[in-house]
A and B are shown apart, each in its own frame.
Chain A
Amino acid sequence: MASNAAVPFWRAAGMTYITYSNICANLVRNCLKEPYKTEALTREKVHFSISKWTDGKPEKPTIRSDSPED
């Protein structure tokens, strides 16, 4: 079992486990055969609706569609 001494290379480079795991998952999805690949990529699309607040009131929200990181 790894003790404190041996950290994985990605953690030593400053990456968190979640980032590592998401990168691995994206790489696997990009290697899928055709119908499965488009299903997987559309399933993982994320949309954000962001609104800045000033003086306690929200301004008009903007929608940002963040495509998954490569």
Chain B
Amino acid sequence: MLRQASRLLARAPILAARARPFSTDLPAAQSADATFTEAWAKVIPNMDPPKTPLSFMQPRPPTPSSIPSKLTVNFVLPYSSELATKEVDMVIVPATTGQMGVLPGHVATIAELKPGVLSVHEGTEVTKYFVSSGFVFIHANSFADIIAVEAVPLDQLDANLVQKGLADFTSKLSSGTTDLEKAEAQIGIDVHSALNSALTG
């Protein structure tokens, strides 16, 4: 009970300190179910209350009042999580609207990704991945969730296969009849030219 009391007290000043809350600002989520534990304590004061699913979840980190110095990145693929809450200085994501640089304190954004290069900048190291497509969710508390279907480090790509693919799809575009075939050929061209510029650029 005392733990929850101190957590609830700690939450209130954060909300009071903010003069005009934005709609994208969210308070820190509670990590224990206060009403349940109070009701339990009334009925069975001698036993500890069982943990509820809420207490197993990590609370959402609050939006700090000053811009944090690092961006926390979660980069996940369907079969593995490449980066899990890694603190970095900047990531550059290939959004459909162009290469987008994300720094700590970036405005909350949802962006769709196009096939392109994702680069993670931490100190002087830069790690680059080629992302096939996906989304990036940037939250107001300087957390960025990047989800992609397929992402490979650039050195795993074979330049010859890329060139061959580009030539194949360019010819398919001119020989395609239905809208769907033309769309597939256009997708092939987009992806392969992005791969090409990733390997040469």
Q: Say whether A associates with B.
A: yes
Q: Is the CB of A30 within 8 A of B183?
A: no
Which residues on A sit within 8 Å (CB–CB) of B191?
24, 27-28
Which residues on B sit within 8 Å (CB–CB) of A34?
158
For A1-32 the 0/1 string (1 means CB < 8 A from B) is 10000000110111100001111110111111
Number of B residues near A (Cβ < 8 Å) is: 27
Which residues on B sit within 8 Å (CB–CB) of A28?
115, 130, 132, 150, 152, 191, 195
A66 to B57, CA, bound (A): 37
A54 to B155, CA, bound (A): 53
Q: Is the CB of A31 within 8 A of B162?
A: yes
Which residues on A sit within 8 Å (CB–CB) of B187?
10, 20, 23-24, 27
Residue B44 lies at the interface, judged by CB distance under 8 Å to chain A: no
Interface size class of A (residues with CB under 8 A): 20 to 34
Give min CB distance, B107 to chain A, whole Å.
13
Give min CB distance, B134 to chain A, whole Å.
7
Q: Is the CB of A20 within 8 A of B186?
A: no
By a beta-carbon cutoff of 8 Å, the part of chain B in contact with chain A is 79, 97, 115, 130, 132-134, 149-150, 152, 156-158, 161-162, 165, 179-180, 182-184, 186-188, 191-192, 195
Which residues on A sit within 8 Å (CB–CB) of B183?
9-10, 12-15
Which residues on A sit within 8 Å (CB–CB) of B161?
30-32
Q: Is the CB of B179 within 8 A of A13?
A: yes
Q: Is the CB of B149 within 8 A of A31?
A: no
By a beta-carbon cutoff of 8 Å, the part of chain A in contact with chain B is 1, 9-10, 12-15, 20-25, 27-34, 36-37, 40, 43
CB-based nearest B residue for A34: B158
Which residues on B sit within 8 Å (CB–CB) of A37?
158
Of A15, A20, A24, A32, the residue contacting B152 (CB under 8 A) is A32
Query: Which of A28, A32, A36 is packed against the most chain B CB atoms within 10 Å?
Result: A28
Q: Is the CB of A24 within 8 A of B157?
A: no
